[in-house]
């Protein structure tokens, strides 16, 4: 795995070329990818560990076995790191992998597979299939020899993948979109709160929102926009409901805790949520009712690798991280061994 860390700069540059994102961010994402592989390499020896569940007449044990060949389909926005989230646990579980990266960001997927084979992974364990979702992606989701599909991308595509895999009864783990609320209560420490979501400037102003800051392009090329804040917004506006990437924040006022909760939950998504308050009792009460798979209180997105990653509602099905990953990439087995008269019941007696 040290080779991957050593090639972090090359990977980061490739990510920048494919996605247009900042080198500083992509450098950290490359190192995070190495951390993902190290974590699951350490977990691999325990992947098959089960439980002992004795009964009066049976020694009941559980174990896990690899589910089989899996297809992994990853998006364009952080392709290297998101690929490692899926591929590392699949390999640690003992599965073979066919990886289809997004057609617009394929570069680092090839580097990643080359690094793995240089480190000693046998050829054919990890396979790369480039192409569009309509062709290469569909071939994976409908193939009878693929036992599971792990997908990261938009919700509409996730629904299509579930439909395509129905005929083969493939298990599906889909990590989809989000429109994540940041709830800042009046007792919060404002110096450390608030960052970004994205929306269309023209649509927002047409719907009645006010551009309080930013709202312009930076430079002459039109490739970047200034950090933008919308005020006078309501939760039925497109800027409050649609997932579009970029440095834009939409502020919606609330007066009561119940009103804040209603606004935060009034979305088809349920990926993450953030609550800023100095009242820990309020934080526990609010997070219990907030419809999101991951919630941070008085913190940004700081993920601990053993914790579950995934969303509710239209944000996906399934979880990554620690044993939650192994639950997807492995089949659970129960074995009951008689240790005495099992007293098998007979119908009609």
In a domain? residue 347: no
If asked whether residues 170 and 188 sit together in one domain, one would say no
* Total number of residues shown for the chain: 349
If asked whether residues 172 and 186 sit together in one domain, one would say no
Question: Within 10 A of 107 (CB to CB), how many other CB atoms are there?
Answer: 19
In a domain? residue 307: no
In a domain? residue 343: no
The pLDDT value given to residue 241: 82
Identify which of 22-36, 135-149, 199-213 has the greatest average pLDDT. 135-149
Helices 107-118 + 79-93 axis angle, to 10: 40
Give percent of the chain with pLDDT exceeding 90. 55
Cα–Cα distance measured from residue 283 to residue 14, given in angstroms and rounded to the nearest whole number: 41
If asked whether residues 77 and 198 sit together in one domain, one would say no
Cα–Cα distance measured from residue 334 to residue 14, given in angstroms and rounded to the nearest whole number: 45
For range 92-114, the mean pLDDT:
94
If asked whether residues 291 and 322 sit together in one domain, one would say no
Cα–Cα distance measured from residue 300 to residue 277, given in angstroms and rounded to the nearest whole number: 13
If asked whether residues 111 and 192 sit together in one domain, one would say no
Q: What is the CATH number of the domain that holds 79?
A: 3.40.605.10
If asked whether residues 190 and 265 sit together in one domain, one would say yes
For range 34-40, the mean pLDDT:
92
Q: DSSP letter for 94, please.
A: T
If asked whether residues 136 and 246 sit together in one domain, one would say no
Cα–Cα distance measured from residue 208 to residue 237, given in angstroms and rounded to the nearest whole number: 8
Query: What's the token pair of residue 158?
Result: 């996730």
Q: b/e per residue, 295-327, with b = 16+ CB within 10 A?
A: bbbeeeeeeebeebbbbbbbbbbbbbbbbbbbb
- 206 pLDDT higher than 80: no
Global pTM?
Answer: 0.86
In a domain? residue 63: yes
Which of the four pLDDT bands, split at 50, 70 and 90, describes residue 345?
confident
In a domain? residue 72: yes
Q: Domain tally for the chain?
A: 2
Q: Are 274 and 260 in contact (CB under 8 A)?
A: no
Query: What's the token pair of residue 274?
Result: 């953030």
In a domain? residue 105: yes
State which residues form the domain around 196.
182-297
Lowest mean pLDDT among 127-136, 189-198, 230-239, 301-310: 189-198
If asked whether residues 15 and 109 sit together in one domain, one would say yes
Which of the four pLDDT bands, split at 50, 70 and 90, describes residue 349?
low
Which of the four pLDDT bands, split at 50, 70 and 90, describes residue 238?
confident
If asked whether residues 158 and 209 sit together in one domain, one would say no
Which of the four pLDDT bands, split at 50, 70 and 90, describes residue 281?
very high
Lowest mean pLDDT among 38-47, 90-99, 141-150, 196-205: 196-205
In a domain? residue 304: no
The pLDDT value given to residue 212: 80
For range 337-343, the mean pLDDT:
84
Q: Are 313 and 269 in contact (CB under 8 A)?
A: yes
In a domain? residue 346: no
Query: What's the token pair of residue 280?
Result: 């820990």
Closest CA to 271 of 343, 144, 338, 175: 175
Q: Which residue has the higher pLDDT, 8 or 200?
A: 8
Cα–Cα distance measured from residue 293 to residue 282, given in angstroms and rounded to the nearest whole number: 19
Q: What is the CATH number of the domain that holds 190?
A: 3.40.309.10
If asked whether residues 21 and 144 sit together in one domain, one would say yes
For range 112-121, the mean pLDDT:
92
Q: Which residue has the higher pLDDT, 203 or 281?
A: 281
If asked whether residues 145 and 284 sit together in one domain, one would say no
The pLDDT value given to residue 198: 38
- 266 pLDDT higher than 90: yes
Query: What's the token pair of residue 204?
Result: 């927002």
If asked whether residues 23 and 129 sit together in one domain, one would say yes
Lowest mean pLDDT among 89-103, 144-158, 190-204, 235-249: 190-204
């Amino acid at each position: 795995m040290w080779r991957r860390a050593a090639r972090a700069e090359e990977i980061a540059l490739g990510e920048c070329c494919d996605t247009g994102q900042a080198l500083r961010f992509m450098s950290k994402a490359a190192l995070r990818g190495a951390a993902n592989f190290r974590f699951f390499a350490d977990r691999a020896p325990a992947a098959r560990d089960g439980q002992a569940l004795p009964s009066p007449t049976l020694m009941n044990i559980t174990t896990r076995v690899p589910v089989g060949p899996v297809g992994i389909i990853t998006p364009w926005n952080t392709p290297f790191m998101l690929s490692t989230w899926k591929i590392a646990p699949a390999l640690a579980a003992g599965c073979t992998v066919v990886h289809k990266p997004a057609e617009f960001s394929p570069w680092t997927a090839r580097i990643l597979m080359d690094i793995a084979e240089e480190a000693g992974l046998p050829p054919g364990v990890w396979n790369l299939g480039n192409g569009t979702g309509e062709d290469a992606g569909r071939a994976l989701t409908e193939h009878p020899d693929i036992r599971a599909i792990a997908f990261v991308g938009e919700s509409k595509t996730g629904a299509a993948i579930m439909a395509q895999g129905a005929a083969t009864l493939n298990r599906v783990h889909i990590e989809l979109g989000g429109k994540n609320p940041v709830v800042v209560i009046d007792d919060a420490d404002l110096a450390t709160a608030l960052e970004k979501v994205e929306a269309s400037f023209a649509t927002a102003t047409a719907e009645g929102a006010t551009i309080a800051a930013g709202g312009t392009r930076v430079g002459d090329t039109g490739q970047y926009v200034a950090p933008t804040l919308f005020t006078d917004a309501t939760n039925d506006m497109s800027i409050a409901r649609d997932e579009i990437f970029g440095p834009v924040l939409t502020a919606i006022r609330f007066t009561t805790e119940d009103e804040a909760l209603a606004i935060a939950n009034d979305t088809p998504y349920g990926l993450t949520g953030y609550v800023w308050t100095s009242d820990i009792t309020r934080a526990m009460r609010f997070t219990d009712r907030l419809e999101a798979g991951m919630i941070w209180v008085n913190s940004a997105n700081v993920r601990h690798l053993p914790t579950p990653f995934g969303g509710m509602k239209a944000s996906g099905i399934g979880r990554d991280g620690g044993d939650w990953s192994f639950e997807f990439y492995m089949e659970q087995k129960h074995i009951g061994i008689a240790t005495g008269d099992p007293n098998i019941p007979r119908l009609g007696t």
